[in-house]
Amino acid sequence: MNLVESLRAHRLLAIVRGKDPAAALRTVVTLAEEGITIVEVSLTTVDALTVIRQARAELGPDALVGAGTVRSAQDADRAVEAGASYLVTPALVDGLAAYGIPVLMGALTPSEIELALARGAAAIKLFPGSLGGPGYLRALRDPFPEVPFVPVGGVDAQAARDYLDLGALAVGVGSPLVGDAADGGGLDQLRARAAEFRKTTAQETP
């Protein structure tokens, strides 16, 4: 399944990071059950590779479960071996195009955006989005009208609406969506937040 097209359709990337591997896995599965099917498991999560491997096994080979906080080719090696279907970086990382799976590469400045595109990024993770907010994305749309941006960092429901209205491909949301679920927090609250964000990011019908 094409990552960019899936992001364009669903407009939401969930970011899971936590201290409890079993809870992190439950979080990924619960999000999928609630219709949030594009999930990034940060490599800062305890036993993240096992979480990725088990999530792919439980959700099926077409599941869009990626590895986040990929900072090196070594990180990518381990993530791909665990079954990650795409890679997400916090910054510019060399050598990831060789893995043959989509890369959502972190960049902030215009120069970094150009370098990320030259490295084969499928989309740009605009990070940290909170630094410039939706207004910064508006400014970037003029010189980069065709670049698919996914703002990440400090994206709550209001910011998500603003970014999407300004033409973001999707938004990446961590704690405002996941809360403490990946640390063992309640799944009912996670389901409620998932419903809220799905409503927020849903495509408007004419």
Q: Confirm whether 40 is a catalytic residue.
A: yes
Q: Confirm whether 125 is a catalytic residue.
A: yes
Q: Give me the catalytic one of 125, 146, 199, 204.
A: 125
First to last CA, the chain: 27
Beta bridge partners of 56: none
Which is it for strands 123-126 and 103-107: parallel, antiparallel or unpaired? parallel
Residues with Cβ < 8 Å from 35, sequence gap 6 or more?
194, 198
Cα 125 to Cα 106: distance, rounded to the nearest angstrom: 4
Q: Which CA distances in Å does 186 have to 16, 64, 91? A: 14, 24, 32
Q: Give me the catalytic one of 40, 146, 196, 199.
A: 40
Cite the active site residues.
40, 125
